[in-house]
Structure 1
Amino acid sequence: MNRVEHSAFIGVIILDAGWHYTYINEYAAKILNRTPDELLGKVAWAEFPAAIRYACYDQLHKAFKNKVEVHFEEYIKSSNQWVRVSAYPFGGSLHIALHKPDFAEISSLLESEYYLKYTENFQDLITVTSVDGKFRYLSPAIQPLLGYEVDEMVGTRILTYCHSDDTEILRSILMDENHATAADQGMITCRFLHKKGWYVWFEKNYKWMLDEDGKRSQILGIWRDITERKLVEERFVQAQRLGQFGSFERYLNDEYCIWSEEMYRIHGLDPLDSMALSEAIKPIVSDDRDKVALAFETAIQVGISEVEYRIVRNDGEVRHLKSQIERVIRDNGRTAVRGLIHDITTYKQIETELKRSKANLEIAQEIAGLGHYDWDVIRNDLYWSDELFVLFHMRREYFGNTIEAFFNAVHPDDTVKVKEAIRDSLHGGLLDLVYRIIVNETEVRMIHTMAKTTYDEWGRPLRLFGTMQDITIQKQTEELLRKTEKLNVAGQLAAGIAHEIRNPLTALKGFAKLMCQANEESKLRYFQIMQEEFNRIELILGELLILAKPQVVAFKPHDTKAILSEVIELLNTEAIMSDVIIELDCEPDLPLVKCERNQLKQVFVNMIKNAIEAMPNGGGLDVSVKKAAGGVALYFADQGLGISEERLPRIGEPFYTTKEKGTGLGVMVSFAIIDEHQGHIEYQSKLGVGTTVLIQLPAFS
């Protein structure tokens, strides 16, 4: 070391076990672009943190740890030069010698002015790499391709930037000092890390340069960015995989063909370089081989063909395939056939399932009296399913396939309502309507239709698709239930009404006797009193008849306050007999409600009677009417026994009741009536406190 230390052209550095500079001569400090005083006592890695990425970090640690000499080449970025480094462990310290390498930094070609001008505009990257994988030279193309500056990369290891999946191929081909596996020149593809974090695909053509002894000294590489090509290839492979498309190609008279990776996957096989023709034919179901052969012959003769066939994979699974085949002439003049294979097994299964589902749907629609329709709004083309022609007693060949043809079958009194509802559904999206139709010129049927509108990207209605169901029997049953409930209510009211009628009758009998002996003036007064009692009896009997006899359904605007007042008048006697006080509170200026007066009266009777029966020990019933958003809200709040939380959700179900002898039909009928009025009923209750029933009805407009 004494001889080395005194050389004017050799840099000398001594580091202690803590990597502190204990000695550094002027030449070494100059190489590091520092002075000895600036470095003495300092920690090497703290002064030059970037050196951790370079070869010196690993090599110097190796010398210290293993107590061995190391020799390597390193690029010193601060002075822009290559140096040969020798490190010797000695007495707990590390002695380091720096001197110029034997080789020129870059050949005369790379240093020439002509070459520099050429590489400045050359889009491909040119590199020179040492045998231990360090960059000795990079062309300016490194910056636009990978974002690094040239001086950032010179001296760093090539493997630092290589994708982990590509490291082995790069290591074995580009860093083989013993000629064991790599040729002197060739081409590889690999990915390199961009400065901003992503990877770029390169295709590299390389050539080893040999020294005077014929040994590999450095490697020249030309790197071409093929990222776009790789993306296209990956998208094509992904498209094949997602779309279950495979591709093949075969020269005529060849006994093998080339399959894409997806072809092997479809057939359940491991990929090969080529597929023997006999092996390619083997999976085809024997019954389909003739038509496959015919399709190939047709493609050879005509130029293109198509065929569907089945294969049996090694695992026994049958797959349905569809192939498009074409004839092509290659650059070498040879004729080939190529094509795409599409795995349509899933589509075949769906097609089979759809056929079965369609058959089941047709049976279900026939049983339920249900049919579907599809109206093309733009072309005014109306499609009806077979069930609708049966429902409307029409024949398909006589149907006009237009919306006007449908309107011709609608009951004249409902035509306007149906047209308005359809017009609203084209803007609102949904249709839910009950209306009447006329079949066989005289028979009236009730129809329930539900539909949904689809729109284009500008929000214009395109199609109205929906179902129709004959609900005539259902409506007749509901009407029968209402009549039954009316009679039931009338029977329950009989005792109270009898008592209510007995009082005026007793008064009438008494005044009749008095009139026999009264003077003219008294007779006139008695007559007026008797007339009032007659009017009261007539009112009570009229209300009872309204509940008992059938009524013509007619929706008209009515005042809910007036209807409530009449019902309370009718039930007040029964309430008094049950020690129940009914209080009515109405807000002023309430909007009118479009309703069927007698049906609404039936609902109110049910609500008040239920409230009275819920208070066996008497109490108060507060009935109030308030304005609500878009209509009125009616509240019936009693102080009765209340309903438990688990029973509340079942209120309104047929034959479900909280009464010992009740049927539950009264509440069910009330729900149905309010629903027909586009209203809503809601129950709120607490055991021991009471129940509040909210009825909301839309205002007449």
Structure 2
Amino acid sequence: MIKEETQRAYTSDIKDFHDISLALLNAKDFLSSHTLDGRFTYAAPSCEILFGYTSAELYDQSIFNFCHPFDQEKLEHYFSSNQYGEIMFRFRRKEGDYLWLESSSTKGLSNTEVVLISRNVTHRVNREEKLKERQKRDRLFLEHSKDTMGIITKNGVWTYINEQGKKLMGATSFDEIVGTSLYDYTDSKDYKLLRESLDTRDSSDLEISLIRKDNDSKRAEVQLIPTVFKNRDVSLVIIKDITEQRNTEDQLQVAEKLSVIGQMAAGIAHEIRNPLTAIKGFTQLLSEHPAEEAEDYAEIILDELARIESIVGDLLVLAKPQASNLSNVDLVPLVNGVVNLLNPQATLSDAFIKIKTDSPSIYIDCEPDKIKQVLINLIQNSIEAMTKGGEILVAISKEANLASIQVTDQGAGIPEDRLNKLGEPFYSTKEKGTGLGLMICQKIIKNHGGKIDFSSIVDEGTTVTITLPVHDNYQDDII
């Protein structure tokens, strides 16, 4: 009877004690008490989850025995001082690894013990260390980069710039640049381009001229990468100095132009020397025998002069800019007209020109006479290539926004190693050709926004393909 009454009297206390033990076991914080020299007098049950030790295994053990050697002096000083607060140290688990603990303390009721409330902050510390390592790595990368790297606001104001940037801008210190604007170092003609790139808040690449503090000009490639730093919209700036690269390219272009001029000069001299030699010889004969065969000599001289005039005329077409007078033209009847013009000439060579088209109308913006000149040149080449006669197919088609004209013959064909040279000045597969005809054709088509391609098989024939952009309102025109 007395036993039952006793149990009923302590039931609530037993329940409270059970609840406290359960709370201590599952708590995120670890509660412990220690003597002033660091020995455990109590360790909450959660120590087994955190460290792998039971409360009994920690009892009367010194906390300094579990502390990392690098933190031991700091922890001993913490216990021996009269002021208590927060401390962080590493505690060795039973498996041998360490956990970072963040502890706060207070003196016990008797002032002879220290009560610690500790929390496992290993994950947070590791994350912070990784962040510091990454920041250190990023800073090393920024500082030792060969390109200028920095951060600017959405208005272009510098908030950071690396050492290379200081050199590029011609500054003696970072303070000269931080707080100024990228616009201060940008050529005024590039303001609009820079402003549009910053306003779009999209990653962008642009090429601008930079003006250094000493007014020296640099050509630079600028990459803008929008990002957020300290809750502010900013852009990471990467600037590459390409001044030397552009200077080298300009020098190469000049050298290439000089080389082309040299080749052209040599070709012109070669082509004109032959008729000049003939003219000189027959003129001498005329002076020695003015009455004998004068008419024949004069005819030869005139033919050679006409050849020189033709060469000079072709060169002028290449050298002198031609006035452009584009009109909207239906390509199908234009090609038909050229074929009808050349069919009699083809018949004399036992050749026949056939037209094939997949559309009744294909409109392009062009100079009709120039396109006719190209087609006449190409078809005449095909006629001359077919010494034994045959068929020349002129196919007209349209795909997407491009019109195509293909001229295919059944001639001797051109070896592959000679195809790449077609269109070069004074290179020709004909015995008396100058090569200027194809060069002029290529220039005309290029001026119309198109291109010419050649393909050939020896003993089977050659195909020349012209592609030109169709008229923008083509769809409207045919509806």
- Residue in structure 2 matched with residue 539 of structure 1 by the alignment: 317
Mapped pair 1:249 → 2:32: yes
Query: Which residue, out of 444, 454, 470, partners 1:612?
Result: 454
> CA 1:204–1:604 in structure 2 vs 1: closer, same or farther (change >3 Å)?
farther
TM-score, normalised on structure 2? 0.51
1:560-599 to 2 correspondences below 5 Å? none
Larger radius of gyration: 1
- Residue in structure 1 matched with residue 227 of structure 2 by the alignment: 454
Mapped pair 1:321 → 2:100: yes
Mapped pair 1:471 → 2:242: yes
- Residue in structure 1 matched with residue 134 of structure 2 by the alignment: 354
1:276-291 to 2 correspondences below 5 Å? 276=59, 278-291=61-74
- Residue in structure 2 matched with residue 55 of structure 1 by the alignment: none
Matched-pair contact (CA < 8 Å) for 1:249–1:336: yes
Please give the alpha-carbon distance, in whole angstroms, between the structure 2 residues aligned to 1:575 and 1:487: 34
Structure with higher RCO (Cα < 8 A, 6+ apart): 2
Deviations 1:280-330, CA, capped at 9 Å, x for gaps: 3212233421211223455x52x42334x445555554x472524232777
Matched-pair contact (CA < 8 Å) for 1:372–1:467: yes
1:68-467 to 2 correspondences below 5 Å? 240=28, 247-250=30-33, 255-259=40-44, 261=46, 267=51, 269-272=52-55, 275-276=58-59, 278-297=61-80, 301=83, 303-307=84-88, 309-313=89-93, 315-317=95-97, 319=98, 321=100, 323-327=102-106, 336-343=115-122, 346-347=126-127, 350=130, 353-354=133-134, 357-358=137-138, 361-362=141-142, 365=145, 369-377=146-154, 380=157, 382-404=159-181, 406-424=182-200, 426=201, 429-439=202-212, 441-454=214-227, 462-467=233-238
The gaps in structure 1 that reach 5 residues or longer are: 1-182, 189-202, 206-225, 241-245, 518-529, 544-559, 591-600, 630-701
Deviations 1:540-587, CA, capped at 9 Å, x for gaps: 2347xxxxxxxxxxxxxxxx9679998998999799768799999999
Matched-pair contact (CA < 8 Å) for 2:170–2:214: no
- What SS class does the counterpart of residue 454 from structure 2 fall into? helix
> CA 1:185–1:615 in structure 2 vs 1: closer, same or farther (change >3 Å)?
farther
- How far is 1:447 from its partner? 1.5
Q: Which amino acid aligns with 1:538?
A: L
> CA 1:287–1:487 in structure 2 vs 1: closer, same or farther (change >3 Å)?
same
- What SS class does the counterpart of residue 336 from structure 1 fall into? strand
Please give the alpha-carbon distance, in whole angstroms, between the structure 2 residues aligned to 1:403 and 1:581: 68
- What SS class does the counterpart of residue 421 from structure 1 fall into? helix
Matched-pair contact (CA < 8 Å) for 1:584–1:623: no
Matched-pair contact (CA < 8 Å) for 1:431–1:452: yes
- What SS class does the counterpart of residue 186 from structure 2 fall into? coil
> CA 1:564–1:371 in structure 2 vs 1: closer, same or farther (change >3 Å)?
farther
- Residue in structure 2 matched with residue 149 of structure 1 by the alignment: none
> CA 1:346–1:281 in structure 2 vs 1: closer, same or farther (change >3 Å)?
same
Please give the alpha-carbon distance, in whole angstroms, between the structure 1 residues aligned to 2:114 and 2:317: 103
- How far is 1:469 from its partner? 1.7
- Residue in structure 2 matched with residue 625 of structure 1 by the alignment: 469
Q: Which amino acid aligns with 1:623?
A: T
Question: Superposition RMSD on alpha carbons, in Å?
Answer: 6.1
> CA 1:603–1:577 in structure 2 vs 1: closer, same or farther (change >3 Å)?
closer
Please give the alpha-carbon distance, in whole angstroms, between the structure 2 residues aligned to 1:453 and 1:487: 45
Please give the alpha-carbon distance, in whole angstroms, between the structure 1 residues aligned to 2:371 and 2:187: 34
Matched-pair contact (CA < 8 Å) for 1:564–1:604: no
- Residue in structure 1 matched with residue 286 of structure 2 by the alignment: none
Deviations 1:322-367, CA, capped at 9 Å, x for gaps: 52423277799997342334215634752574366346524751xx
Matched-pair contact (CA < 8 Å) for 1:586–1:624: no
Please give the alpha-carbon distance, in whole angstroms, between the structure 2 residues aligned to 1:260 and 1:564: 97
Matched-pair contact (CA < 8 Å) for 1:446–1:472: yes
Deviations 1:80-111, CA, capped at 9 Å, x for gaps: xxxxxxxxxxxxxxxxxxxxxxxxxxxxxxxx
Which structure features the higher share of helix residues?
2
Please give the alpha-carbon distance, in whole angstroms, between the structure 2 residues aligned to 1:444 and 1:342: 54
Matched-pair contact (CA < 8 Å) for 1:249–1:257: yes
More deviation in 442-451 or 324-333?
324-333
Q: Which amino acid aligns with 1:463?
A: V
Q: Which amino acid aligns with 2:189?
A: D
TM-score, normalised on structure 1? 0.37
- What SS class does the counterpart of residue 402 from structure 1 fall into? coil
The gaps in structure 2 that reach 5 residues or longer are: 1-6, 284-294, 296-307, 322-363, 386-391, 403-442, 474-479
Please give the alpha-carbon distance, in whole angstroms, between the structure 1 residues aligned to 2:118 and 2:220: 54
Matched-pair contact (CA < 8 Å) for 1:439–1:445: yes
Please give the alpha-carbon distance, in whole angstroms, between the structure 1 residues aligned to 2:396 and 2:269: 23
Matched-pair contact (CA < 8 Å) for 2:171–2:213: no
Matched-pair contact (CA < 8 Å) for 1:256–1:274: no
Percent identity of equivalent pairs:
11
- Residue in structure 2 matched with residue 598 of structure 1 by the alignment: none
Aligned pairs, number: 339
- Residue in structure 2 matched with residue 671 of structure 1 by the alignment: none
